[in-house]
């Protein structure tokens, strides 16, 4: 009997979550190996070549870097669009999500969720009047405009893809951050919320 793929990660959502969601969408049963000792990441570079997790092992296939893993799952399980243009639009969403996530990570880990930094983050990332400023390419309005122009029934094209997974995860972590401003958040992200079919993802998360 074939062994199930294994996701090695911490017992948190973090960068493991889009991988878990993509596997669930693809209907792939998988196991999790909880990384409890950070020192292993630094000493075992055969398994963790960049000293970090997640790591994904599927038989002979062995990879780190969350977006590389996500793309692999997309290619293997038909979650990567149906044309070269769609696949590239999916890549564009993934890279834009990464730019946004970088800003989110700075707020959480470097700024320690400082109130002033959080307020600045809101202004620079969600306030529609600030999308023209220098913001590292990370603003919700960019996604909304992109989806209005290129999105299909789903984030890209007529089928669910790893772009839906990545964008949903980004929206979800930000919604949790601004739970007290839910109305403003829903308004700022309304196009993305609609396209990513948030209710479906919530169901998927909770149907464990």
Decide whether 41 or 189 has the Cβ nearer to ligand GSH. 41
Q: Which pair of tokens denotes residue 18?
A: 């889009």
Q: How many CA atoms are closer than 13 Å to the CA of 20, on its beta-carbon side?
A: 21
Contacts of residue 102, Cβ cutoff 8 Å, sequence gap at least 6: 136, 138
Smallest gap from Cβ 72 to ligand GSH, in A, equals 12
Smallest gap from Cβ 116 to ligand GSH, in A, equals 25
Three-class DSSP category at 45? coil
- Distances in Å between the Cα of 207 and the Cα atoms of 61, 64, 88, 202, 204 are 28, 27, 31, 8, 5
Element (H, E) at 108: none
Smallest gap from Cβ 70 to ligand GSH, in A, equals 9
Decide whether 15 or 71 has the Cβ nearer to ligand GSH. 15
Decide whether 98 or 127 has the Cβ nearer to ligand GSH. 98
Smallest gap from Cβ 52 to ligand GSH, in A, equals 3
Cα separation, 155 vs 143, whole angstroms: 10
Smallest gap from Cβ 144 to ligand GSH, in A, equals 25
Cα separation, 160 vs 78, whole angstroms: 9
Decide whether 68 or 186 has the Cβ nearer to ligand GSH. 68
Decide whether 14 or 152 has the Cβ nearer to ligand GSH. 14
Binding site for ligand GSH (CB under 6 A): 14-15, 38, 41, 52-54, 65-67
């Amino acid at each position: 009997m074939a062994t199930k793929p294994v996701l090695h990660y911490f017992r948190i959502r973090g960068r493991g979550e889009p991988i878990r969601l993509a596997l669930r969408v693809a209907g792939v049963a998988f196991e999790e190996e909880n990384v409890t000792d950070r020192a292993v990441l630094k000493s075992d570079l055969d398994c963790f070549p960049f000293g970090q997790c997640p790591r994904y092992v599927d038989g002979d296939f062995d990879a780190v870097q969350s977006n590389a893993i996500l793309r692999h799952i997309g290619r293997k399980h038909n979650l990567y669009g149906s044309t070269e243009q769609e696949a590239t639009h999916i890549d564009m969403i993934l890279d834009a999500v990464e730019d946004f996530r970088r800003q989110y990570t700075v707020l959480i880990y470097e700024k320690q969720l400082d109130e002033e930094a959080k307020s600045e983050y809101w202004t620079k990332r969600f306030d529609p009047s600030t999308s023209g400023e220098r913001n590292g390419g990370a603003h919700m309005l960019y996604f909304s405009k992109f989806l209005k122009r290129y999105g299909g029934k789903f984030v890209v094209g007529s089928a669910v893809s790893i772009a839906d997974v990545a964008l949903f995860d980004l929206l979800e972590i930000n919604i949790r951050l601004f739970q007290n401003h839910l109305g403003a958040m829903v308004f700022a992200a309304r196009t993305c919320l609609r396209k990513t079919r948030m209710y479906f993802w919530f169901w998927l998360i909770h149907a464990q």
